[in-house]
Amino acid sequence: MSPAPPRARLLGLLCAPLDACQGLLDLLLPPACGVCQALLDERREVLCPNCAAELEPLGGALCGRCGLPGADPCPACRGEPGPLSRLRSGWAYEGALQQAILRMKLGRRIELAEDLGARLAARALPGWEWQELELLAPIPLHPRRLHARGFNQAAVIARALARAHGLPLSLDHLVRTRATPEQARAQDRAARLANVRGAFAVRAGHPFAGRCVCLVDDVVTTGATLHAAAEALLAAGAREVRGLSVARTL
């Protein structure tokens, strides 16, 4: 047998102590569920089977346009359809998923965003065809909020979706031009729309013109944020804008 090439030997030398460190880390800090802290069999898992089973799919009859459970089209979409041609979400924003998303944002748990993105990528969503999409674009954070949080959860989720489905990703062409206050839950849709209107712009040299672009976010509540971002993409020449989120407030 020929000796291993120098690069492989070097890698082996580097990895042996890393493996030992991983073993020690597992002993000192055993891998735990990102939500309930139950111990996990594998460090690469993020949610325990109980918490994963608690994710509530948005099933049954839903509006083909906005994805809300109920009539198709729903009364809102029949009245004023809005700029998003299709909006879907993986699960209801409640229980274990709500906990996971709050921990992800407040506790800077990037691995939770990666895990939720991978789960969403693997989910079959009604009326959703991945191959119809031409570009993914996460909802950007304002630079001040990005600095405070340390990462954009929507970008991490979008990266997982892009990887799973071989789709191109635009991370920095859609920008937030105005820091908007956190969307309060109590606000109605009109107030939220007014809050985010004109808060997005696209940079010169953007790739959106003529393409079917899918906006990605972690949670959709009234859809006002996606709505404002979609208007910016359409104004920049996007052919069609769809939206996808991990969770949806019902």
Binding site for Zn ion (CB under 5 A): 33, 35-36, 38, 48, 51, 63, 65-66, 74, 77
| Cβ 223 vs Cβ 188: under 8 Å | no
- β-partners of residue 248 are 92, 220
- Residue 48 or residue 113: which is nearer to Zn ion going by CB? 48
Cβ partners under 8 Å of residue 197, min gap 6? 228
Give the shortest CB-38-to-Zn ion separation in angstroms: 5
- Residue 50 or residue 177: which is nearer to Zn ion going by CB? 50
Give the shortest CB-116-to-Zn ion separation in angstroms: 14
Give the shortest CB-197-to-Zn ion separation in angstroms: 20
- Residue 74 or residue 169: which is nearer to Zn ion going by CB? 74
Give the shortest CB-239-to-Zn ion separation in angstroms: 21
Give the shortest CB-96-to-Zn ion separation in angstroms: 7
- Residue 74 or residue 167: which is nearer to Zn ion going by CB? 74
- Residue 112 or residue 154: which is nearer to Zn ion going by CB? 112
The burial class, CB within 10 Å (0-12 / 13-18 / 19+), for 192 is buried
